[in-house]
C-alpha cells in the first residue's frame, strides 16, 4: 500500500469515528431529553416520542394536553442569543474561530425553531421549550415541576374551567335552600 492510500484510509476511519460521535450527540436519547422524560413520567404524564409527522419532530408529544415539548441544547439553539445583535450569551458561547459560520448556523437553527413553533401553534398545539441549562442538577426539579404546572394549567384551560366561578356559585347557594323550603 502506498503512502497516500494509507493516509486516505486513515482519514476515512477518522471520519467514520467522527460521524459516530456526532450521531451519538444527536441521537434521540441524549441526556437532557431523558431527564425530562423520566421527570414527567414520574409525575404521571404520558407521552409519545419524536413525533415524525409534526413540524420539528418534537421530543415529547402529550396529546391529552395538546402540547409539544422540545428539549433544546443551549449552544445549537442559541439560548439567550438575540437574533439582531448575535453576541455571546451565558449559555451560548460562539467559537471565535469560524465565527461567521457558527453565527449563520445558529441563526438558521433559531429561525427554524421559531417557524416550527408558529406552525405548531397554528395547528392548535402548545409548545414548551426546555433548555439544557434548566436541567442542571440544582434547577432540575424546579424546572420539571414548572412544566407539570404548565401542563395542568393548559388542561384546565382546554376544559373550560372558569377562573372566576364564585359570584355565580354564591347565587346558586342562596337560591337552593329557599327553593327547598317552599316545597316543604
**Contact flag: residue 120 with Zn ion (CB under 5 A):** no
Phi, psi of 3 (to 5 degrees): -65, -40
**Does 131 engage in binding with Zn ion (CB under 5 A)?**
yes
Does position 94 interact with Zn ion (CB under 5 A)? The reply is no
- Least distance to Zn ion from the beta carbon of 157, Å? 28
In sequence order, the 6+-apart residues with CB closer than 8 A to the CB of 73 are 32, 132
Q: How near is the Cβ of 134 to Zn ion at its closest, in Å?
A: 7
Cell numbers standing for residue 181:
323550603
| 133 scored as a contact of Zn ion (CB under 5 A) | yes
The minimum distance between CB 174 and Zn ion, in angstroms, equals 53
Q: If binding means CB under 5 A, how many residues of this protein chain bind Zn ion?
A: 5
**Shortest Cβ 80–Zn ion spacing (Å):** 6
Complex with Zn ion: residue 36 or 133, whichever CB lies closer: 133
**Long-range pairs, 40-48, Cβ under 8 A, ≥24:** 40/144, 40/147, 40/148, 43/144, 43/148, 45/148, 45/151
Q: What is residue 73's three-state secondary structure?
A: coil
Closest CA to 134 of 36, 30, 24: 36
Out of 37, 77, 79, 126, the residue judged to bind Zn ion by CB under 5 A? 79
Among the listed residues 74, 128, 144, 147, the single contact to Zn ion using CB under 5 A: 74
Q: Which residues, 6+ apart, have CB-to-CB distance to 184 below 8 Å?
A: none
- Given the DSSP bridges, would you call strands 67-72 and 126-131 parallel, antiparallel or unpaired? parallel
The stretch near Zn ion (CB under 5 A) out of 46-54, 57-65, 88-96, 106-114 is 88-96
65 binds Zn ion (CB under 5 A): no
Contact residues toward Zn ion (CB under 5 A) are 74, 79, 91, 131, 133
Amino acid at each position: 500500500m502506498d503512502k497516500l492510500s494509507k493516509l486516505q484510509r486513515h482519514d476515512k476511519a477518522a471520519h467514520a469515528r467522527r460521524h459516530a460521535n456526532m450521531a451519538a450527540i444527536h441521537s434521540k436519547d441524549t441526556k437532557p431529553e431523558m431527564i425530562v422524560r423520566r421527570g414527567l413520567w414520574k409525575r404521571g404524564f404520558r407521552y409519545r416520542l419524536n413525533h415524525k409527522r409534526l413540524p420539528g419532530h418534537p421530543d415529547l408529544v402529550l396529546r391529552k394536553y395538546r402540547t409539544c415539548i422540545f428539549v433544546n441544547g443551549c449552544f445549537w439553539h442559541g439560548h439567550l442569543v438575540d437574533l439582531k445583535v448575535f453576541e455571546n450569551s451565558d449559555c451560548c458561547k460562539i467559537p471565535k474561530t469560524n465565527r461567521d459560520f457558527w453565527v449563520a448556523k445558529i441563526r438558521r437553527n433559531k429561525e427554524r425553531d421559531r417557524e416550527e413553533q408558529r406552525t405548531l401553534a397554528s395547528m392548535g398545539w402548545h409548545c414548551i421549550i426546555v433548555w439544557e441549562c434548566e436541567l442542571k442538577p440544582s434547577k432540575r426539579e424546579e424546572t420539571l415541576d414548572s412544566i407539570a404546572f404548565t401542563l395542568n394549567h393548559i388542561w384546565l384551560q382546554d376544559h373550560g374551567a372558569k377562573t372566576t366561578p364564585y359570584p355565580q356559585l354564591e347565587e346558586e347557594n342562596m337560591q337552593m335552600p329557599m327553593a327547598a323550603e317552599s316545597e316543604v
